[in-house]
A and B are shown apart, each in its own frame.
Chain A
């Protein structure tokens, strides 16, 4: 997959992974594993970018005698997911057009 395209996807995937419940780094990677490959270093960059864009907030919580960072989605993050869904509706209709024309050949 094209790198830029994958980057955009990964941001949305990470937002989706924390949408219903706050989550932490390793769980995000595990939840996304069946769908898209995501390395730790890439996740770090994406989390930083989403935090800078105020799409998520970070909270450090004590867990089993050590600290763990939990990521919480913000209103802006939820809105980004909605935008993505709307964009994709359009893209899917374009995709269907391309497939249809290709089949006519």
Chain B
């Protein structure tokens, strides 16, 4: 791949970004290639030393804030026709509803996580109150029920120990998925731009 091909591919890959962001990056990578060639590499070597365009594009997209990409997508390159404005206005409630559905699905997932943590808290509370109850029984001389309570308290404590790790894993998993989804949304915006 020569310098021109590299920069063209890069430009296409980044086309969802604002123009000045793309220009600046093209200048930066162009300069890098020129500097490598000045040192004696041929054009091919200089370009391959920079790394693959795909990697640069995905790293760039993951670092640019989503708002910047959306803003660029939402800014039309020409003025809108009347019928297009009418269509947008009519379509807006639909879009809002769609966004609301997605957001509420996300909220449901988090409420499930909160519920899990609540179960965990309940087990811990059971364990603690079981110990307290056992102590109360013993103070009144009721040895057997006291042991029964203590046994129940240990059981709850043991379960809460396992549930804790389950909760932790679920929370981490959802956070990880959220990050992936954010990247996915960004990529969606960029892809649309490319196929236009």
Contact = CB atoms under 8 A, between A and B. Distances in A.
Interface of A: 24-27, 39-42, 44-45, 64, 66-69
B25 A44 contact: yes
Contacts of B27: 67, 69
B44 interface: no
Interface in B1-46: 25, 27-29, 31-32, 34-36, 38
Contacts of B59: 41-42, 45
Interface of B: 25, 27-29, 31-32, 34-36, 38, 50-51, 55-56, 59-60, 63
Contacts, number: 39
27 contacts: A24-B31, A24-B35, A25-B28, A25-B31, A25-B32, A25-B35, A26-B32, A27-B35, A39-B51, A40-B28, A40-B29, A40-B50, A40-B51, A41-B51, A41-B55, A41-B56, A41-B60, A42-B59, A44-B25, A44-B28, A45-B59, A45-B63, A66-B31, A67-B27, A67-B31, A68-B34, A69-B31
Per DSSP, are chain B's interface residues mostly helix, strand or loop, or mixed? Answer: helix
A40 B46 CA distance: 12
B72 to A, nearest CB: 17
B31 A26 contact: yes
A73 B22 CA distance: 25
Nearest to B55: A41
Contact of A66 (B34, B56, B60, B63): B34
Contacts of A25: 28, 31-32, 35
Contact of B56 (A26, A40, A67): A40
A41 B38 CA distance: 20
Contacts of B35: 24-27, 68
- Of B27, B28, B60, the most chain A CB neighbours within 10 A belong to B28
Contacts of B34: 66, 68
Contacts of B31: 24-26, 66-69
A40 B32 contact: yes
Contacts of A66: 31, 34
